Amino acid sequence: MSYRHLFEKGRIGSLTLKNRVVMPAMATNLAGHNGEVTDHQIAYYEERAKGGTGLIITEFTCIDYSLGKGMSNQLRFDEDRFTSGFARLANAVHKYDAKIFVQLHHAGRQSNSNLIGGRQIVAPSPIASAAIGEEPRELTTAEVKELIQKFIHAAIRCKMAGIDGVEVHAAHGYLINQFLSPNANLRTDEYGGSFENRLRFLKEIVLGIKEKCGDDYPVTVRLNVDDFDQGGLDVEVSKEISRSLEKIGVDGINASCGTYNSADKIIETMMYEQGWRVYLAEEIKKCVDIPVITVGVIREPEFAENILAEGKADFVALGRGHIADPEWAKKAYEGRDQEIRKCICCLHCMQTVNKNSHVQCSLNIRAGRELEFKEIKPIEEKRTAAIVGGGPAGMEAARVLSLKGYDVTIFEKDDKLGGQLDLVHTPVAKQKMNWIMDYHRNEMNRLNVDVRLHTEATVEKIKALNPYAVLLATGAKPIIPELEGTNLANVCDYEDVLLERLPFQSKKIAVIGSGMVCYSVTRQLAEKGNHVILIDIPTATGEKVSAPTRMMLLNRLKNLNVEVIEGHNVVKILPHAVVLEKEAAGNQIDLEIDHVVFSMGTESYNPLEEMYRHHFENVFVIGDAIVPGSITHAIKDGFEKAFVLESIVTKKAGKPLAAIN
């Protein structure tokens, strides 16, 4: 064990933790439809406890289900009947010497009427959140006092259930944050106006919990150090709040930031640097003696260790990192850093939750499905498998099959593994894509997968393996639309740029498309001194980019003097021009250019299936070779097909091809 600070014991109040690794609260949608703890939820948290985490903080847990919900399937603890579920959750986590806190929450004006049965949302003052767009009703003083009691009673239930402590959610623009914030709290009673009055709601909650549960029952506060919202909390005000909280007995501060109006600061996109908001925790640590937890795109054990060693925080929280790899702590403790599957900030987990699905992960297909994929069982007899293509689908299938005991061979015609993942060139995003490629490449070495680069997968070579199954992961190829002029010499695709097949310098270039790869292509051409015009048109790959990420990327391109044209269709390509048609008006313009680069996504590339089915009995197509999509689809398909391979081989006889693939 090389990370001394990360794996030394720590204390929060009277509670001793086995290490300094925290899993912070993150929504999962795994609760029952009435807000109860479910078996799926217990399995999800137990997996992280088993993986070595010192402290797990549950997802936000509602203390007032009638008006305070923040999502459809949200955990709740506003009635005694939910105690048994939390007791079972606590027992599951405690088996592995991990501790568990429950995060107590009320959404306030960041709820919406659809979530609370058509009722009007409530807040300290009748000021709408721009992100929600619904005007809230101002809480009466009596209602405020009633809510204080609801927080306190939820904490009492937590203690009765064997939960080790509670975290009061005063961040991310939710109700307590609204009371603290000068731009959301314009009350004229004892809970508004001055700093002391705005703090009173949170203060009375904490004092009430301490009175009823005892001074030795740990209470932490998730606090926004900066709202990143005009007129909201900033670092200096939050330092004053933190000093006040320490005086009244709060046992720790979990330093966070952002509201729904600045949501990209709460759940960061791929464009944020590792540990970008550690400075917020560092500022709080300067002014209090109680423990401070830091969070925010912390992915590597060495990075986390340095935070602690340099005294910037007392505990390090890894949120989405625990979704991607529940064994993060265990692997770091055992010096298996290369085996850690690092989160790449693709936001798939949050997108699934926001669509009312259970939490899912692009990289860890078992996330939220722990009861479905309990363990990878070894096969009873030795078998071989051949995989054609070394992209994400092929490598994930190879990983799972190897863990099951197969001898696996990958045929890759390129000089390296990675496939489409290697085409992302934006520096910060490239770093994160390298994480997942490095993980899979290391797994191929660790599991002794026979990787044959620069090798065409001929029938003869595969027959020599006598494979039980052949998996075709040949991926996808760039889409070139059926337009007049696409066969001209000055027209190419994004691979020609990213793989530097063609030199471009001091040229006027039109890039056509949208999405991460498209924006990477545009940036690369602009940085090489070209005059670049991005014709941003809707594509399937573009739709996968979240709105905050797209806005950030387009702004960065504009800062590189890229001209961005939206709202136009491409009519045809000429030797020295692109003909565009404005969507609304219908009038055409000729845009003079030297070259055209298409970056409109991909279409399936599956040239081998028909031939292989004449020679091999069990042939399966996986990943983009079936349906071009995202890294999520590719890894999911590779994992699932490999996990159930024996079953689909058994059931294959007599089934039409469509039913198998």
- Written as one string, the DSSP assignment of 521-569 is HHHHHHHTT-EEEEEE---HHHHTS-HHHHHHHHHHHHHTT-EEEESEE
Ramachandran angles phi, psi of 375, nearest 5°: -160, 155
Beta bridge partners of 314: none
Residue 343 to residue 81: CA distance in whole angstroms: 36
- Start-to-end CA span in the chain (Å): 45
* DSSP H or E run through 322: helix 320-324
C-alpha distance from residue 345 to each of 109, 524, 536 (Å):
27, 22, 23
Average pLDDT over every residue of 643-657: 72
Contacts of 56 (CB under 8 A, 6+ apart): 22, 23, 45, 48, 49, 93, 98, 99, 100, 101
pLDDT of 249 over the 50 cut? yes
pLDDT of 133 over the 90 cut? yes
The residue assigned the tokens 């021009």 is: 577
C-alpha distance from residue 37 to each of 42, 72, 74 (Å):
7, 14, 10
Share of the chain above pLDDT 90, in %: 83
Q: How high is the mean pLDDT of the chain?
A: 94
Residue 368 to residue 548: CA distance in whole angstroms: 25
In this prediction, residue 420 carries a pLDDT of 73
**Which tokens go with 83?**
């105690």
Q: Is 588 helix (H, G, I), strand (E, B) or coil?
A: strand
Share of the chain above pLDDT 70, in %: 97
Residue 74 to residue 120: CA distance in whole angstroms: 19
**Dihedral, 301, 307, 308, 314 alpha carbons, nearest 10:** -110
Closest CA to 241 of 190, 269, 206, 277: 206
The residue assigned the tokens 């300067």 is: 286
Q: How confident is the model at residue 551 (pLDDT cuts 50, 70, 90)?
A: confident
In this prediction, residue 426 carries a pLDDT of 63
More confident: 264 or 407: 407
Burial of residue 658 (CB within 10 Å: 0-12, 13-18, 19+) is exposed
Q: How confident is the model at residue 424 (pLDDT cuts 50, 70, 90)?
A: low
- Helices (H) then strands (E): counts for the chain: 22, 29
The answer to whether 279 is a known catalytic residue is no
Angle, vertex CA 252, rays to CA 246 and CA 255, nearest 5: 105
Q: What is the pTM of this model?
A: 0.90
In this prediction, residue 277 carries a pLDDT of 97
* DSSP H or E run through 208: helix 195-213
In this prediction, residue 654 carries a pLDDT of 44
State the CB neighbour count (10 A cutoff) for residue 438.
14
In this prediction, residue 657 carries a pLDDT of 41
Asked whether the beta carbons of 463 and 419 are under 8 A apart, the reply is no
Q: How confident is the model at residue 628 (pLDDT cuts 50, 70, 90)?
A: confident
Q: How confident is the model at residue 540 (pLDDT cuts 50, 70, 90)?
A: confident
Over residues 148-169, the pLDDT tens digits come to 999 999 999 999 999 999 999 9
State the CB neighbour count (10 A cutoff) for residue 216.
10
Average pLDDT over every residue of 340-363: 94
Over residues 57-70, the pLDDT tens digits come to 999 999 999 999 99
In this prediction, residue 659 carries a pLDDT of 40
Average pLDDT over every residue of 308-336: 98
- Strands ordered across the beta sheet of 577-582: 568-574, 577-582, 588-592
Q: How confident is the model at residue 428 (pLDDT cuts 50, 70, 90)?
A: confident
Catalytic residue among 3, 45, 65, 174: 174
C-alpha distance from residue 430 to each of 63, 129, 603 (Å):
41, 35, 23
Q: How confident is the model at residue 367 (pLDDT cuts 50, 70, 90)?
A: very high
